[in-house]
Amino acid sequence: AEHQHSRYNPLRDDWVLVSAHRVKRPWQGQLEKPPPEDVPRWDPNNPLCPGATRANGEVNPQYEGTFVFPNDFPALQPDAPEPDDSDHPLFQTAPARGVCKVMCFHPWSDLTLPLMSLPEIRAVIDAWAELATELGASYPWVQIFENKGAMMGCSNPHPHCQVWASSFLPNEARLEDRTQRQHLSQHGVPMLLEYAEQEARRKERLVVENADWLVVVPYWATWPYQTLLLPRRHVCRLQDLSDSERDNLASIMQRLLIKYDNLFEVSFPYSMGWHGAPTGPYLEEDCRHWQLHAHYYPPLLRSATVRKFMVGYEMLAQAQRDLTPEQAAERLRSLPEVHYK
């Protein structure tokens, strides 16, 4: 808690430098603008709102729950041509095909996940699982992710996420596949199942828990208030969750996100995403080494206006953090679970 040391991240097979004494240094760097508090509930010019016209001329239905549609500016398309063959091993290319979808959580633009009801959050989870099943029938990787807040590059305040299905395993998926496979081979138990059991027992990095789930600031966290959402049962994919596990997932997500908002009394920015066993051709393979989990990466460090930057040493050497994961977890754990609004 007082002196610098390095911690190993077995999921990524890398290290993070923890420099706890630096948290006391004064801040004279950039101050961010807090997110706007006056987002209109419905705006005819917002392309994610019910009844609005999107950039491609499509008119959204008057949806009342979740709404899924193809991304109008997709990073992946299903019919992309094959790239040219490489003439040198230092200049390699590979095919990349897929589909990109956008999913609105709710018809109201001023309602983020922590302010939604449990049935509304459960509907989001069910839609996630449905998309994971549908796209995972043919694509090896289905990445569900949410960028929340302008600070995380989100260009629209309407509550939504994206789902990208790809014909290949992305870098993080390939890395986690290798490390989890190696752990099961060496220790006979899925890595994150064992890790969840250890954190549930130790409790020093535990933020919130219920019968089916727990949220921790991982021992190897790089972002100040980074968290890891883990099931207690061995489950490989989001679509494998039982009815009660989905209910309890809605509850624990709401509790975590309320704590996030309460930390600095602001709509808390983050990037989050689900990782689970690959799909498509991998559905027929042994994926017992995988354990479903969700990563939350929030950038805020000291207040609603001071963020953590991953630059300099982090980009050129390795990740570094000031606040220890135990201090971050204790602060989040102590926050009320009633939203400040």
What residues are labeled active site?
160
Is position 212 annotated in a ligand binding site? no
Is position 25 annotated in a ligand binding site? yes
Is position 308 annotated in a ligand binding site? yes
Query: Which residues partner with 148 through β-bridges?
Result: 270
Separation CA 270–CA 332 (nearest Å): 15
Is position 177 annotated in a ligand binding site? no
Is position 178 annotated in a ligand binding site? no
Return the structure tokens found at 232.
């207690």
Separation CA 263–CA 303 (nearest Å): 8
Find the radius of gyration of the CA atoms of the chain: 20
Asked if 246 and 126 count as a contact pair (C-beta separation under 8 A), the reply is: yes
Separation CA 208–CA 235 (nearest Å): 20
Separation CA 109–CA 75 (nearest Å): 24
Asked if 297 and 272 count as a contact pair (C-beta separation under 8 A), the reply is: yes
Query: Which residues partner with 293 through β-bridges?
Result: 275
Asked if 191 and 179 count as a contact pair (C-beta separation under 8 A), the reply is: yes
Is position 101 annotated in a ligand binding site? no
CA dihedral (83, 140, 252, 301) in degrees, to 10, reads -30
Is position 33 annotated in a ligand binding site? no
Is position 21 annotated in a ligand binding site? no
Is position 242 annotated in a ligand binding site? no
Is position 171 annotated in a ligand binding site? no
Is position 262 annotated in a ligand binding site? no
Is position 295 annotated in a ligand binding site? yes
- Neighbouring residues of 119: CB distance < 8 A, sequence distance ≥ 6: 250
Show binding-site residues: 22-25, 55, 71-72, 147, 153-155, 162, 176, 275, 293, 295, 308-309, 313-314, 320
Show binding-site residues for Fe cation: 176, 275, 293, 295
Show binding-site residues for UDP-alpha-D-glucose: 22-25, 55, 71-72, 147, 153-155, 162, 308-309, 313-314, 320
